[in-house]
Amino acid sequence: MKRSWKELLSKFVMFVLTSSAGTVVDLGLHWVLSNFIFKGNYWGSYWIAPTISFEVAAITNFCIAYFFVWKERITNRGTRSFFRHLAGYNATTIGAYLIKLLAMQGIHFIFLHFGWLQDWSFEPVLCNLLGLFFSGSFNFVMSEFVIFNKTGKKDN
């Protein structure tokens, strides 16, 4: 089904605004994990912490998307529908996570190369935030055109 630019822009703005909750969850949990649990540990701060924080944020974002952003596209709100959409959303977040992780590592290595922010406890979080820009764009496209696609058929 064809979407108007106005409808697409409206969904994108709503997605960005509501996804800020997931961003706060991701960044806050990542900071706590990298600053207190994995402090000084490269693998913990740049691989394990962002993996945990991203998944918790993904579930937060899915619930917001399911119940608010694309609620009119779900005609049957049963348990089966919720978990079917969650499975699809979680599958696409793997792609988004890989994009985020690659961007985050690249940004971290640029910071290392230039000696920027190396003694700052928020450097892993800043790399994470910049990586979220790329993964968030991917997530919107997948949500709009795949997970919550407007097809005109009844939802199961």
Question: Does residue 110 lie within any of the structural domains?
Answer: yes
Query: How many domains is the chain partitioned into structurally?
Result: 1
Residue 18 confidence (pLDDT)? 78
- Supply the pLDDT for residue 121: 80
Mean pLDDT throughout 134-146?
A: 84
pLDDT digits (tens, 9 = 90+) for 85-99: 899 888 888 888 899
User: What b/e sequence results for 128-138 when a residue is b if at least 16 CB atoms lie within 10 Å of its CB, and e otherwise?
Assistant: bbbbbebbbeb
The answer to whether residue 154 sits within a structural domain is no
Instruction: Confirm whether 130 is domain-assigned.
Output: yes
- Termini Cα distance of the chain: 19
Nearest Cα to Cα of residue 22 among 68, 51, 83, 63: 63
Neighbours of 16 (CB within 10 A): 13
Question: Is the pLDDT reported for residue 152 higher than 60?
Answer: no
Cα–Cα distance list, 82 to 18, 58, 63 (Å): 18, 14, 9
Q: Which residues contact 76 (CB under 8 A, 6 or more apart)?
A: 154, 155, 156
pLDDT value, residue 142: 85
Domain membership flag for residue 23: yes
State the pLDDT at residue 24.
Answer: 93
At 100-127, the pLDDT tens digits run 899 999 999 999 999 998 888 888 889 9
Range of the domain at 83: 5-69+76-147
**What per-residue string of b and e applies to 95-110 under the rule 16 or more CB within 10 Å gives b?**
ebbebbbebbeebbee
Q: Render pLDDT for 29-85 as a digit per residue (tens, 0 to 9).
A: 999 999 999 998 989 998 999 999 988 998 998 898 888 877 887 878 889 989 998
pTM for the whole structure: 0.73
Per-residue model confidence (pLDDT) at position 151: 63
Task: Say whether pLDDT at 154 is over 70.
Answer: no
Does residue 58 sit within a domain?
A: yes
Residue 156 lies in a domain: no
pLDDT on residue 31: 94
